[in-house]
Amino acid sequence: MTDRRPSTVKDVAASAGVGIATVSRVFSGTGSVSPATRDRVLAAARALDYRPSALGRGLKLRRSGGIGLIVPDVTDPFCAELVAGVLACARTLGEHVIVDAAGGDPAREAEIVERLAEQRVDGVIAMPAGDEADWRGAARVCSSVVFAGRVLPGPPDVPDVPSVLADDAGGVRAVTEYLAGLGHRRIAFLGAVPGGPPRVRERAFRATLAQLGVPVEEDLVVAARPARDAAYAAAAGLLQRRGDVTAVLAAGHLLGEAAVLVARELDLRVPADVSIAMVDDVAWAELCDPPLTAVARPARDIGYRACELVLREPARRGRGGPVLLPTELVVRGSCGPPRAQRRRRRGNPAD
Partner DNA sequence: AAACCCCATGGAAACGTTTCCATGCGAGGG
Partner DNA sequence: CCCTCGCATGGAAACGTTTCCATGGGGTTT
Q: Which is nearer to its own copies, 183 or 286 (CB)?
A: 286
Nearer to its own copies, 207 or 261 (CB): 261
- In the complex, the smallest distance separating the C-beta of residue 17 from DNA, rounded to whole angstroms, is 6
Residues 39-68 that bind its own copies (CB under 8 A): 49, 51-56, 58-59, 62, 64, 66
- 91 part of the interface to its own copies, by CB under 8 A: yes
Do the strands 293-296 and 328-330 form a parallel or antiparallel pair, or are they unpaired? antiparallel
The answer to whether 108 and 50 are in contact (CB under 8 A) is no
What letter would DSSP give residue 217?
Answer: P
Decide whether 100 or 308 has the Cβ nearer to its own copies. 100
6 counts as binding DNA under rule CB under 7 A: yes
Mark 92-111 with x for binding to its own copies (rule: CB under 8 A) and - for no binding. ----xxxxxx----------
Residues between 122 and 141 with contacts to DNA, criterion CB under 7 A: none
Which among 45-53, 96-104, 272-280, 310-318 is the span making contact with DNA, rule CB under 7 A?
45-53
SS3 category, 171: helix
> What Rg, from alpha-carbon coordinates, does the chain have?
26
21 binds DNA (CB under 7 A): yes
Q: How far is the CB of 19 from DNA (least distance, A)?
A: 3
- Which residue's CB is nearer to its own copies, number 59 or number 210? 59
Interaction between residue 115 and its own copies (CB under 8 A): yes
Q: Return the residue of 3, 4, 36, 140 that touches DNA, per CB under 7 A.
A: 36
Q: How many residues bind its own copies (CB under 8 A)?
A: 50
φ/ψ of residue 211, rounded to 5: -65, -30
By three-state DSSP, how is residue 283 classified? coil
DSSP symbols for 83-120: HHHHHHHHHHHT-EEEEEE-TT-HHHHHHHHHHHHHTT
**Under 8 Å between Cβ of 106 and 324:** no
CA pair distance 330, 256, nearest whole angstrom: 14
Question: Shortest gap between Cβ of 97 and DNA (angstroms)?
Answer: 21
Does position 32 interact with DNA (CB under 7 A)? The reply is: yes
Residue 243: what are its φ and ψ, rounded to 5°?
-65, -10
**247: which residues sit within 8 A by CB, 6+ positions away?**
179, 182, 184, 186, 187, 188, 274, 275, 276, 277, 335, 338
Contact call for residues 304 and 97 (beta carbons, < 8 A): no
Residues forming the site for its own copies (CB under 8 A): 2, 5-6, 49, 51-56, 58-59, 62, 64, 66, 73-75, 77, 80-81, 83-84, 87, 91, 96-101, 114-120, 140-141, 257, 260-261, 264, 283-284, 286-289
Residues forming the site for DNA (CB under 7 A): 5-6, 8-10, 17-25, 27-28, 30-34, 36-38, 50-53, 55-57, 59-62
